Structure 1
Amino acid sequence: MADRGASALSLPDDWPAHPDPILALNRMGSFDWDLDTGLFHMDAQAHEVFDVRPDEFDDRPETLAIRVPPHESRRLDALVAQAIKDGSENYGTYFRIRCRDGTLRWTHTQGCIRRDETGRPRRIIGIVRDATQELCDSQARADEVGQDEARRRQTNVVQATTAALAHARTVQDVIDVLKDSHGLTHLGATSLVVGLVEAGHIRLVAEGPEGSFVPGTLVTRIDEPYPMSEVVRTLSPRFIESPQEFAEHYPILWPHLTDLRITSAAYLPLIVQARPIGAMGLLYDDRRGFTSEERNVLVALGSSIAQSLQRAMFYEQEKDLARGLQQAMLPRTIPGVPGADVAVRYRAGFAGGSLGRDIGGDWYDVIPLPGGRIGAVIGDVQGHDPDAAAVMGQLRIVLRAYAAEGHTPATVMARASVFLEELDTDRFATCLYAEADLSTGVVQLVRAGHIDPLLRLSDGTCRCLPVEGGLPLGLSAEFGSLEYPVTTVELDPGQTLLLCTDGLIEEPGADLDDGMRALREMVCAGPDDVHDLADRLIDVAEERSGGDDVALLLLQRLGLAQRSGGRLRQYVAPGDPEALTEARHMIRAAVRAWGAGERSDEIELVADELITNVLMHTEGAATVTLRVLAGHDRRLRTEVEDTSSALPRRREAGESGVSGRGLLLVDRLADVWGVEARGRGKVVWCEFRLRARD
């Protein structure tokens, strides 16, 4: 060890080195601030940092005011005072000084607070250094990181916007996505404009924010000197990088944008299959110019928006086509119905995905019938395509014709089923037919595979009307099962009959009973007016956005006073085995509704005899009319009309005879009866006195 120490080189006299040269190598200066005297000593390097000559500085901190701006001086004083107050040993900060040439330069200082044994601060010893390059390098790194972050943010916004556009079904949906505060505004755009090309013009479909609309630009020609017109003509994006460039190239538009303080803009053509369908403009107030990455992002965004707009335009066109075709198949007008308020609604179910084919076969109809009766029909042809709509149109017309001929509801349904089966379309249809006499309130219902109707009472409660049914139209004829039982109900004044298709109650994955229960609850809670109620129900179906059509018919009987007290007319066709049975049911219901229950058996028996007489002894049909005659006494009048001019004869039947007793029975049971010639035929009538109402 001794040998090694003896042979070691001798150290220089100034070792270890004074810190001043070391600080100078790092362009740092030192200072010593005596807090008792206030003297502030700086070395030569510190003078260079503050850009003051030795003869300009008198060791007083306030003398540095020529270099330290007032707001920076106040900030430094506050920082030092807080460090002393907190008992801190050190502090550090960046601040700016104004150099001799007037430029600002960043400076950094660190200080160490020396205290005496009592903790009182006595001196601050520290360093100062030029931090300009340091902060520039740091800012450059921060700018680079910020640019990367901005690019990521823009890319994320484009991805999020594209994802949102994937769910947009209409043009308005696309516009809503573009104007969403969580959408394109994250790209920093101050204002947005979107226009669509229509017949050589550009029609503005979106602009924002509110109040930024430029007069005269709602519809512009493609050849006009506007940036949107230019990008449509050239099929190339247009990036405007300064206000001067904007004002120079578009002097007509620029004066209207000065209040928005626009500094740059990007106009993008919306191109699909090499054809422009519109243009979009993004205006900015906080940037000048666009990097290549930003341009690429915006061009990609324009392509995505163009595809979404094209898809939305196709959707709306096909939806309009479907609605137009469907509406053409439905009745253009609904006839006025005395004694009732009728509301009908239709909503086309359009699920998309099969453009041009989502046309359903739902329909409704209101048919005026002889004797003041009406027929109400609701139906649904199987399938969602143009063929379903075509079959629906034919079936609706045929069913209307059969009903108008005077056939019974069961016969109308059976004949419609045969017609559909003979069309050989492999389609079936569900249907519900209601024939109502509003003077009596008697309603006959026939159901062919359809859902049951609802009855809303005058107190607002609602219940389902179970209707015995048969097979759907087409299937009943194919399987030879054309029997359609008739259900007779009474519709009192103020009560509403609701007929609808299953699109109003069915939801994917939901039970049908739950849907019917929800419908009853909506009807109970709905408005009293049938038109308002129909609007409410169809709005709910629209909000649900189901893929099925919805047809709806509401029939409310009004409480109108009838001078005759009531009237019922029924057509009984020859060769129809069910016609007489249905007529009996209707007569019995009408008599009960009119308060003539004590004579219902007599009235039904007499009417039955008169109808049977027509069917057996003439070649035509019988038309039965019942009405209540008001006066000093209430009477029920029964009329049976036929087309034969031969008058009935009253005669005695033999012991073994099976006929000849009909008029004897009429004479015995009716209070008065007679025969009248009527045009091409005759009518046999009889009257029954009724007990006065309480």
Structure 2
Amino acid sequence: TALRAYAAEGHPPDVVVHHANRLLMDMETDLFATCAYVDVDLEEGSAWCVRAGHLAPVLRHPDGRTEIVEAEGGPPLGVMRQADFPMSPLRLQPGTVIALTTDGLVESAEADIDAGMDRLAHELARLDPAHLGLVADALLVGARRSDDIALLLMRYDGMAVRPLRESWTVWRVPEAVGHARRFTRRTLRTWGVPAQGIDAVLLVVSELVTNALVHTDGRVRLDLTLVNDRLRVAVADASPRTPVKPTSISWEATGGRGILLVEAMSATWGTVPVSGGKQVWSEIALGG
């Protein structure tokens, strides 16, 4: 739960694991836990691995070769307060399978962990990665049940369409919203978005940027991402407070309709924590 919470705040993997370790130490119990954390960038085909006393990932490359990743590691969580948890880079080609497991799968009275990891890598090499459920079943056949077993498999398939991305830093000037609208209109025209779809996007941009400028301090950033016919508008600010959708607005009210307009114009919208602040996002379907 702690790892998920720190990851949701937008921290890099080494910071997430460091914070989780500190939290466990502060609990002043005899508890400890091992951890393997892999953060995958699906667009770039890259990943970062952090280990805390846990087994390294096993990679199955597209040509069938397997590799036990030589990733540096730190001690288990809850053992040393000043522990270091270095990040190790991974390069993924489309078709690569990442396997993470616990020692219950690879260690037994007859074989040590190293032999068990070699056996896992050999089995993974001979299996067809097209159906990961069948791969998992095959790897678990004959596993001893004297210890808990966890197995996680992921296949990186690459991206058929690379997203188009542009960002704009919103300066706190009287014309800030107008500048954001002009940036958005210019970007969408460059991307070939039809003119009839731009007005709805500009309205969402206006409301999200205005909300950030009025209700927060510090830097505001506008991000646009286009994948196929779906546009994501995201505005990040320095406040962790999530915007609240009003339940009712009287006819004479002069404010409070911004989030309702965003909801009406969006296929979906939401907010996520980002590095001490938040990002409010909206996805708009541009297709007919």
Do they superpose with TM above 0.5? yes
Alignment partner of 1:476 is 2:80:
yes
Alignment partner of 1:560 is 2:159:
yes
Whole-angstrom CA distance in 1 between matches of 2:135 and 2:150:
14
Structure 1 residue aligned with 2:90: 489
Structure 2 residue aligned with 1:413: 17
Question: 1:501 Cα shift?
Answer: 0.6
Structure 2 residue aligned with 1:523: 124
Question: 1:409 Cα shift?
Answer: 0.8
Matched ranges for 1:594-605 at <5 A: none
Question: 1:568 Cα shift?
Answer: 11
The answer to whether the Cα contact below 8 Å between 1:439 and 1:568 also exists between their aligned partners in 2 is no
Whole-angstrom CA distance in 2 between matches of 1:445 and 1:500:
14
Q: Deviations over 1:110-165 (max 9, x none)?
A: xxxxxxxxxxxxxxxxxxxxxxxxxxxxxxxxxxxxxxxxxxxxxxxxxxxxxxxx
Question: 1:539 Cα shift?
Answer: 1.9
Question: 1:548 Cα shift?
Answer: 1.0
The change in CA–CA distance for 1:537 and 1:681 in structure 2 (over 3 A counts) is closer
Alignment partner of 1:549 is 2:148:
yes
The answer to whether the Cα contact below 8 Å between 1:455 and 1:495 also exists between their aligned partners in 2 is yes
Question: 1:425 Cα shift?
Answer: 2.4
The answer to whether the Cα contact below 8 Å between 2:161 and 2:227 also exists between their aligned partners in 1 is no
Matched ranges for 1:237-276 at <5 A: none
Q: 1:447 aligns with which of 32, 51, 63?
A: 51
Structure 1 residue aligned with 2:251: none
The answer to whether the Cα contact below 8 Å between 2:96 and 2:155 also exists between their aligned partners in 1 is yes
Normalising by structure 1, what TM-score? Answer: 0.25
**Structure 2 counterpart SS, 1:531:** helix
Whole-angstrom CA distance in 1 between matches of 2:69 and 2:22:
27
Q: Which letter maps to 2:97? A: T
Q: Report which structure shows greater RCO (CA 8 Å, sep ≥6).
A: 2
Q: 1:504 aligns with which of 105, 110, 116?
A: 105
Whole-angstrom CA distance in 2 between matches of 1:624 and 1:450:
39
Whole-angstrom CA distance in 1 between matches of 2:6 and 2:46:
20
Whole-angstrom CA distance in 2 between matches of 1:410 and 1:568:
27
Q: Which letter maps to 2:49? A: L
Q: How many residues align?
A: 188
Normalising by structure 2, what TM-score? Answer: 0.57
Whole-angstrom CA distance in 2 between matches of 1:527 and 1:558:
14
The answer to whether the Cα contact below 8 Å between 2:51 and 2:72 also exists between their aligned partners in 1 is yes
**Structure 2 counterpart SS, 1:550:** coil
**Structure 2 counterpart SS, 1:497:** strand
Q: Which letter maps to 2:90? A: V
Q: Which letter maps to 1:536? A: A
The answer to whether the Cα contact below 8 Å between 2:104 and 2:147 also exists between their aligned partners in 1 is yes
Question: 1:623 Cα shift?
Answer: 8.0
The answer to whether the Cα contact below 8 Å between 2:32 and 2:79 also exists between their aligned partners in 1 is yes
Gaps of 5+ in 1: 1-396, 570-617, 631-638, 645-679, 683-694
Structure 2 residue aligned with 1:401: 5
Q: Deviations over 1:261-305 (max 9, x none)?
A: xxxxxxxxxxxxxxxxxxxxxxxxxxxxxxxxxxxxxxxxxxxxx
Whole-angstrom CA distance in 2 between matches of 1:531 and 1:429:
27
**Structure 1 counterpart SS, 2:43:** coil
Structure 1 residue aligned with 2:136: 534
Question: 1:476 Cα shift?
Answer: 2.7
Matched ranges for 1:342-421 at <5 A: 397-421=1-25
The answer to whether the Cα contact below 8 Å between 2:66 and 2:121 also exists between their aligned partners in 1 is yes
The answer to whether the Cα contact below 8 Å between 2:163 and 2:225 also exists between their aligned partners in 1 is yes
Whole-angstrom CA distance in 2 between matches of 1:504 and 1:517:
12
The change in CA–CA distance for 1:429 and 1:520 in structure 2 (over 3 A counts) is same
The change in CA–CA distance for 1:475 and 1:562 in structure 2 (over 3 A counts) is same
Question: 1:564 Cα shift?
Answer: 2.5
Structure 2 residue aligned with 1:283: none
The answer to whether the Cα contact below 8 Å between 1:440 and 1:568 also exists between their aligned partners in 2 is no
The change in CA–CA distance for 1:518 and 1:414 in structure 2 (over 3 A counts) is same
Q: Which has the larger share of helix?
A: 1
Q: Deviations over 1:214-243 (max 9, x none)?
A: xxxxxxxxxxxxxxxxxxxxxxxxxxxxxx
Q: Deviations over 1:342-399 (max 9, x none)?
A: xxxxxxxxxxxxxxxxxxxxxxxxxxxxxxxxxxxxxxxxxxxxxxxxxxxxxxx111
Question: 1:461 Cα shift?
Answer: 1.6
The change in CA–CA distance for 1:620 and 1:476 in structure 2 (over 3 A counts) is farther
Whole-angstrom CA distance in 2 between matches of 1:530 and 1:568:
35
Q: Which letter maps to 1:537? A: L
Structure 2 residue aligned with 1:650: none
Q: Which letter maps to 1:405? A: E
Question: 1:625 Cα shift?
Answer: 7.5
Let me know the Cα RMSD of the aligned residues: 3.5
Question: 1:441 Cα shift?
Answer: 1.4
Whole-angstrom CA distance in 1 between matches of 2:30 and 2:151:
26
Q: Which runs of 4+ in 1 moved over 4 A?
A: 618-630, 639-642
Whole-angstrom CA distance in 1 between matches of 2:157 and 2:26:
40
Q: 2:65 aligns with which of 451, 454, 461?
A: 461
